[in-house]
Every structure is written in C-alpha cells, then in structure tokens.
Amino acid sequence: MDLTDLKQKTRAATLSYSEAQTLLQLHNFKCELNRQPTLSEDYESLCGNLEKIYPDVSFEIAGYRVSAELREGVGGTLIEKIGLVSGDIPHLKTTVAYGADDSIRLFFRADRIGVIKEEESYNFFEHDLDLDEVKRQCHDRENEIEEYLCDYFRDEINEEMEDPFFNPDGDACDLYFEKGSEAELNRLIKLFILTEPGIEKVGDREVCLCAATGEDDPYLMTDDYFYGSERLERLAGIALAENRPVGWSWEYNDGAIDRRSGYNHSAECLRWGIDEILEQSPARERMAARRELREYLEARGYNPAGFDAMAQATGEGEA
C-alpha cells in the first residue's frame, strides 16, 4: 500500500510488516521531537500499539503481513486515517533524482515533519519550512516550489543524514592541477626515476602518485604493486608542493547504490612505467638527468648529496 497516496478509496488493506512498522515509526518520530515517551516496535506489541495510535482502525498480524480495516461506523477511507500525509495537514511534495535512474519522493508536512518515500520504504526528517511562505516566494508555481524543495533538501537535510542520498557522478572531480602543471610533474618524476639508485632491478613496476582529494593531500603510493623508496617519496613531496594534482572519483562497493555508504572515495592517480622510461632514455639523457636534478634541488635550497646518502642508507631501491 502506498502510504502517501490519498487517492486510494479502500476501507481495508493488507500491509507489509515494514509498512505497519512505518506507521509506528512516524508516531515515535513525533514523540522524539516533542520529548515524549515512545511505543515499542516489537513484533508482539505492534498491532496493539497501532490501535492505540489509530483507534478507528483494527489491525491483525499474520506472519509478516498486517491487515488494517476501518472499524464499523467509521467513515472515510483507510488512507485518510493512517496515511503519512493527510488532507488535514497541508503538505508540499517534490521528487529528487540521484543518479540516472534513482529518485526519491519527498513530502513536507505543515507540522514540520518530512517524509521520504524510496520505492517501498519510508524515512522521516524534521524541517523548518513555513509552507505558506514557500508558496509565496515561489509565486505558487508548482515547478518553482518543487525546485525550491529539492534545493532545500539537498542543502539542509541530506548532508545531515547518517547515510546521505548520493550521486557519485555529481560529486566526482576530474583531474586538474591546482598549481603547477602536469607537464612539469611528468618531467620531474622522470628525473627522479632516471636518477634513482638500483632502479633497473624493478623495471617491471610503476611509480604512482595519488592526487589530492577533498580530504587528503597528494602523495606517492607505495605498496606491493607500485615502486617506492624513502628518497623517491621525499623528492615527490617537493615536486607535489609546486605541482598539485587534484581529482577524485567514487568506486561502488556493492552497498546501497543511492547512498554514500555504497561508495568509496578514490583519488585519481598518475602512473609512470619504469621500464618504459628507462627504454626511452639513452645514456646521455640519464647523465643529464643527474645534472638537472642537482640544479633543481639546489635552486630550492636542498643539498643533493643528502638524497644520495638517503638512497645509500636504505639500499638501492625498495620493493
């Protein structure tokens, strides 16, 4: 049963267990807002507590279905008595899209309770909108009202939820350079690789830099797959201070497809194949790389000998 559709004319219906629980959850949500005692949502007490809330309706549970029927002598329809929205409480509604195919229905009740309808499930939130004022600001135009409500939900409600609704495409950031350039970073990483002691031993590996995200600074990736050393990590830090890549995407983790918990924040990466750089660099270029690196470090106040000593202290390249 759609608990938000006031057009339904039936006096009786069979509710799913979750729908019946939703009716009790709405009552408890109101109680929590008003700091009043809540009712138990246990299976055994579900129907009895629902009849306390909706005395004009009889409830009977069988397995995980609950039959609901207006009592004799009670006029109107079932949805008028148990609906999450009501003709007695003015409300406004809108639809918010998340991703290409996902959307949720939102109902803003005049008693400052909001209802989220997501397929067959429902959630509640508190809002501070004056619905008459919203209509006035939007000149009572339906499209403008819906857009206003969408923006309000995204900006004021969604981000405060424990697990917000989420569109990974809308929150991704294509790779760009906040300062410096990709060309200069490429040049420097090539210098670092060509001058790295013992680099020929790990030619089948890659060097990987992770771009900055909204949470983390850029850094050199070092694990079982990517090559790294203390020397290379320090050199990369100097280069990244002047050439700062920024970018991220969201990788689906098999969780809720329209919630933030369903995605992992993943930095964009820049990679350099060690074999490829070595094969494309003749001996004279490798010799010139040492001079260029020395000049680069000295211009920034670093002692090149310190980096050579670091490499000797840790061994010629780390796996």
- Whole-model pTM: value is 0.69
E strands, the chain, where? 12-16, 57-62, 65-70, 91-98, 102-109, 113-118, 121-126, 173-179, 206-210, 219-221, 244-252, 263-267, 269-273
Q: Say if 319 falls within a structural domain.
A: no
- Closest by CA to 295, choosing from 188, 181, 184, is 188
Per-residue pLDDT of the chain (319 residues; tens, 9 = 90+): 999 999 999 999 999 999 999 999 999 999 999 999 999 999 999 999 999 999 999 999 988 999 999 999 999 999 999 999 988 899 999 999 876 567 899 999 999 999 999 888 999 999 999 999 999 999 999 999 999 999 999 999 998 888 888 777 767 889 999 999 999 999 999 999 999 988 888 878 999 999 999 778 999 998 888 999 999 999 999 999 999 999 998 888 887 777 778 888 889 999 999 999 999 999 899 889 999 999 999 999 999 888 877 655 555 444 4
Domain identity same for 290 and 181: yes
Q: Say if 126 falls within a structural domain.
A: yes
Q: Judge contact between 263 and 251, C-beta under 8 A.
A: yes
Contacts of 55 (CB under 8 A, 6+ apart): none
Range of the domain at 135: 86-162
Pairwise CA distance, residues 128 & 115, whole Å = 14
Domain identity same for 38 and 94: no
Domain identity same for 185 and 149: no
Q: Say if 168 falls within a structural domain.
A: no
Pairwise CA distance, residues 215 & 204, whole Å = 31
Query: Domain tally for the chain?
Result: 3
Domain identity same for 1 and 67: yes
- Which of 30, 64, 84 terminates a domain? The answer is 84
Q: How many CB atoms lie within 10 A of CB 158?
A: 18
Pairwise CA distance, residues 74 & 70, whole Å = 6
